[in-house]
Amino acid sequence: MKIIMLGAPGAGKGTQAIRIAAEYQIPHISTGDIFRSNIKNGTELGKKARAYMDQGLLVPDELTVDLVMDRLDQDDAKKGYILDGFPRTIPQAKALEKALQERGDKLDYAIDIEVPDENIVDRMSGRRACTGCGATYHIKFQPSAKGALCEICGEPLSIREDDLPETVQKRLDVYHSQTQPLIDFYKERDILRSVDGTKHVDEVFADISAILEA
């Protein structure tokens, strides 16, 4: 079972990927984790990636695909995996497809979690974090019993810069221009499956499970 997760920032991809990985006993693989692991372990690929990152440059698609394929060669990925956060662009998707084809392999599903932009802005801009202990709340879905203060330690709550409405909208704009074209790419390959991400997380997981077990 070889899956990639699609969806805008804040759609819940990571949450669902973790649940799928636990339920079906396959690794949840994110490019961020791959980069960190290779850099920490000082691998040749990690050294190459670090050279770009230290200069504030994006790691080239070819090197990113090499890092991903190296991760997919590990024993725990033999019976399947979930790719989260990669590919992000059509060139990355084509490079991944080519690398998989060269080993006689292919993806089984591209799961798209659909959530309207306004819902995502509402979700993310309502998040609040404690400046003291780091506990998180949501002004609508999980408010603190102490209002603007943390109910655990009493320190003030604040909104992270990443969660400011204008920042969220910029991230969504980037997603729509760069990543959303992947939906058509995988639709053409007949592996795209979409679920309604506005439902409760348990319902979203049930819908994804129904797709995977069909």
Catalytic positions are 13, 88, 127, 160, 171
Interior/surface letters 64-87, b for 16+ CB within 10 angstroms, e for the rest: bbbbbbebbeeeeeeebbbbbbbb
**Whole-number Å distance between alpha carbons of 201 and 206:** 9
- List C-alpha distances in Å: 108 to 165, 179, 192, 193: 35, 19, 9, 10
At 184, which amino acid appears? D
In terms of Cα–Cα distance, which of 55, 53, 81 is closest to 69?
Answer: 81
Query: Is residue 52 within 8 Å of 60, Cβ to Cβ?
Result: yes
Query: Is residue 77 within 8 Å of 29, Cβ to Cβ?
Result: yes
Query: Is residue 174 within 8 Å of 92, Cβ to Cβ?
Result: no
Q: Could you count the other beta carbons within 10 Å of the beta carbon of residue 32?
A: 10
- Residues 6 or more apart whose Cβ sits within 8 Å of residue 104: none
Task: Classify residue 171 by burial, with Cβ atoms within 10 Å: 0-12, 13-18, 19+.
Answer: middle
